[in-house]
Amino acid sequence: MEGLEAVKWTSVLARGLVAIAFGIVLLAWPGATVFAAIIVFGAFAIITGVFGAFSAIGGRRERAHWVWSLIGGLLSIVVGVVALAYPGETAVVLLYLIAAMAIVWGLSDLFLALGIRGQLSGWGVLFLVLAGIISVAFGIYAFVNPGKGAIAILWLIGVYEIAWGLLLTMVSFAVRSAQKHGGGGMTPA
């Protein structure tokens, strides 16, 4: 079983806040060029990938499914580098890259929820499961329905990033609370 102590609540919080910021940027400036969105996404992917990879490596002894977090982090870094190296590619390619990354991150969140379910509050586990489900569902939806037009794709990505980021932010506080109180945390009413 994964130890809750191996989960870095600050890394989860950072991933959530960066995702929210990225989503807001995409929704606030939908008329921005696809090129600018790809640059912002590339930076976002690299930053969240670094947080995820370091968190996975730091908790590898305590977490049974740490490899999924490491794969998610490394894939995120690679996707970010590719996006920055080839910014002229279409928004659909960007959507496919984000979709692949979302599926891996979603699976990572679901496996983490399984590993810490007895150590985190019911709400914390629920938010983590929802974050995983939203990520996997978004990734599958994006692969099946890549959309028509760059603005529609950017809006879809923006809404997903904000929802995922909010859930991860809530999970980070649940993890912090559980670590502070020895795994008790809040329980759902």
Q: For 117-156, what is each residue's pLDDT tens digit?
A: 777 777 888 888 998 998 898 888 888 877 655 567 778 8
| Residue 135, in any domain of the structure | yes
| Residue 186, in any domain of the structure | no
Domain that holds residue 17: 4-180
| Residue 165, in any domain of the structure | yes
| Residue 50, in any domain of the structure | yes
Integer Cα distance of 161 and 6 in angstroms:
25
Instruction: From 63, 69, 29, select the one nearest 49 (Cα to Cα).
Output: 69
| Residue 188, in any domain of the structure | no
Question: How far are the Cα atoms of 76, 116, 167 from residue 137, in angstroms, in the given order?
Answer: 18, 22, 15
Radius of gyration of the chain, Cα coordinates, nearest whole angstrom? 16
CATH number, position 171: 1.25.40
pTM metric for this prediction? 0.57
Domain count, the chain: 1
Summarize pLDDT for 115-127 with one digit per residue, the tens: 877 777 778 888 8
* Mean pLDDT (the chain, rounded): 80
Integer Cα distance of 21 and 12 in angstroms:
14
How many of the other CB atoms lie within 10 Å of CB of 4?
24
| Residue 75, in any domain of the structure | yes
